Each structure stands twice: as structure tokens, then as C-alpha cells.
Structure 1
Amino acid sequence: MLDLVLTNKEALVGDVKLKGSLGCSDHEMVEFRILRAARRACSKLATLDFRRADFGLFRDLLGRIPWDKALEARGAQDSWLIFKHHLLQAQERCIPTKRKSSKNTKRPHG
């Protein structure tokens, strides 16, 4: 069962489908489409600079949250919104962004 799909932009991914087992493992393949309208929305892209990220602080910030209490008696949608809020706050503190011009962006061939 697919739990979560994370993207860096709203409405970037569509038509998400599970495509069966990956070999003999318990992992499953996921098929999805990257939607063009969302991908081409801006000419200057702000990308996360993972090389300068402080993953120790990121892990610490998310580890301090009492998840059992924070998500207690909440439905899936409310739990997701709470998790997303904390994740984005930690991301903003720990992972700097860099500006990239779309003409220099590497795109997959095919």
C-alpha cells in the first residue's frame, strides 16, 4: 500500500498507480506522471540545496515532536496536514535553497 508521495510543488504529480511487486522483495513499483503545467510554471526555480543541508538538526527537530500526542484522535487528512507543517518548518530551517535558471536545468531525456 502506498503511504505517501512527496513533491516540492503542488499538483506536480498525477496518475499515481501501484504496479506490483519489485522482484521477490516486499517493495512495490510506483508509476506516475509529472504534469507539464506545474513543471513549467516559473522560469526561475528555487531548488533545495542538499549539499548545504543540516540533516542532524533536521532529524533532531522532527525527533522532538511527540508524534503520538500530535496525531492522537486525528483523521488521515488532519494528520497529514500536521506532519506536512512540521516537515516544511524543519526543511525551511535546515535545507537552504538556491536559485536556478530553467535554461540550465537538467531534464531527463526520452
Structure 2
Amino acid sequence: MPTVLLLLVSNLFMTTAWYWHLKGGMTKPLAVVVLISWGLAFVEYCFAVPANRIGYASGWSAAQLKIVQEVIALLVFAGFMVTVLGEPLHWRHLGAFLCLVGALLFLFAGK
């Protein structure tokens, strides 16, 4: 569980680092946006690296860690897309998410 919680926090920072400037930051110089995003990404790494170390030490494979991270990333991004960017969710988003959940189930089957 610590792995999932740490990955959740790291994805909140990474999604913000990658996409915050699309809403209200488009007038800022690109160099400023990159520097701010790097700062956010540094915080993200402070959560992602321990999450992966803890997960791996607990018996998760690298593939399992990556797929869990992708599922969390999509959930976080969907929330960000709707709440911050004001973009609607469509059935295609759900279909893509279900495909990743299927990948997750395949990788954890038999564990």
C-alpha cells in the first residue's frame, strides 16, 4: 500500500508539472515554464523513486510497478483534465483505462 500511495502523490506532481501551464500559463516564457516544471518534477521523483524501491523490495516486478503507475497516472490525469483544464471525459477515455486495467490484471495474475 505505501507503494500505491507514494505513486499517487508522485503522479499528482508529475501531472501538474507537465500540464499546469496549459491553463493560464500559456503567456509565460517557455524557459520559465520549463524551470517551474522541473521543480515540480523533482518533487515527483522524491516520491516515485522510493515507491519503486519499496514495491520492488516487496516482490513487485518492474513491469507490475510500471503498469500500476500508468493506471494511477491515467486516473490522476483524468481528474486534472476535468477539474483544471475543463475538458470532458468521453467513452474513449474509459475504454483506454479499461485496457490498462486489463494489463494490470494480466501482470498480477497468479501473484
Alignment TM-score, normalising by the size of structure 2:
0.30
Point out the structure with max Rg over C-alpha. Answer: 1
Of Structure 1 and Structure 2, which has the larger fraction of its residues in strand? 1
RCO higher in 1 or 2 (8 Å CA, sep ≥ 6)?
A: 2
